Amino acid sequence: MRRRSLLALPTLIPAALAAPPKTPPLAERISVFGRSWAVISAAEWTVESGALHLTAARPQQADPRRPIQFALAESEPIGKFTMEVEVRRLAPKGSLILVYAWQKDGYFNYVHLSDDEASKVEVHNGIFHCYGGDRVRISPTAGPATLPTAGWHKVRISYDAASGTVQAWVDGQTSASLKAVDLSLSAGRIGLGSFFNTASFRNFTLTT
């Protein structure tokens, strides 16, 4: 009688363990800037004197690697807009993101602003694209750090889904690292947040 060797059998991994982690749902709401915003946890945000503060940073998500901690404005998809907002990063080092063209979980673009130069840290300070997997840089790396100090900085973003173009200015200055084109997502929702830091936002306006 031939015996089967248990060592020859393939190791079975439960599907729940093999699958990538799911993004927590944007199940809670906060209100600021005259709008309602969807967030993972309202306890991670505070609103004081008209300013929005992300006060608790979540660990970086991996597999896929993309930001998940942002407040998403409740609106219809927006195909063309100019966003203006004052931002403040974490001190002494930090970064934050401004989301646009959000379609659904894992499908969106964002502007990343940081105290790092993109030529030194290529996953910082630029325009990034998420399409079901890891975030991918879609702008050049030429340009200075956009948030050199931990004070307030004025940011403006212009987006046109018809041409796929986006451009950002910080304190009136722009660079190659803050310009990109993406036609895969088109109109979508906008958001404010960070990849894995705390951050603050005030004087937000959106012109469509």
pLDDT tier for residue 204 given thresholds of 50, 70 and 90: very high
Q: How much is the average pLDDT of 77-96?
A: 97
Q: How far apart are alpha carbons 137 and 178 in whole angstroms?
A: 11
State how far the alpha carbon of 114 is from the alpha carbons of 37, 150, 182, in Å: 24, 10, 22
Model-level pTM?
0.90
CATH no. for residue 163? 2.60.120.560
Rounded distance, CA 66 to CA 64, Å? 6
Q: Tell me whether residue 45 is in a domain.
A: yes
User: CB 151: neighbour CB atoms within 10 A?
Assistant: 10
Q: Which residues pair with 166 in a beta bridge?
A: 159, 180
20 located within any domain: no
Please give the Cα distance from 54 to 70 (Å, whole number): 8
Neighbours of 107 (CB within 10 A): 15
* Residue 62, in any domain of the structure: yes
- Inside any domain, residue 147: yes
pLDDT of residue 84: 98
Share of the chain above pLDDT 70, in %: 90
Pairing of β 165-170 and β 153-160? antiparallel
Residue 8, domain member (yes or no): no
Domain count, the chain: 1
| Residue 138: CA count within 13 A, CB half-sphere | 22
The helices-and-strands tally (H runs, E runs) of the chain is 1, 15
What is the C-alpha to C-alpha distance for residues 194 and 74, in angstroms, rounded to an integer?
18
Q: Does residue 7 form part of some domain?
A: no
Helix (H, G, I), strand (E, B) or coil at 18: helix
Cis omega (within 30 of 0) on the bond before 77? no
Give first-to-last CA distance, the chain, whole Å: 78
pLDDT, residue 76, reads: 97
**Mean of per-residue pLDDT scores for the chain:** 92
Q: Which domain holds residue 47?
A: 25-207
On whether residue 16 sits in a domain, the answer given is: no
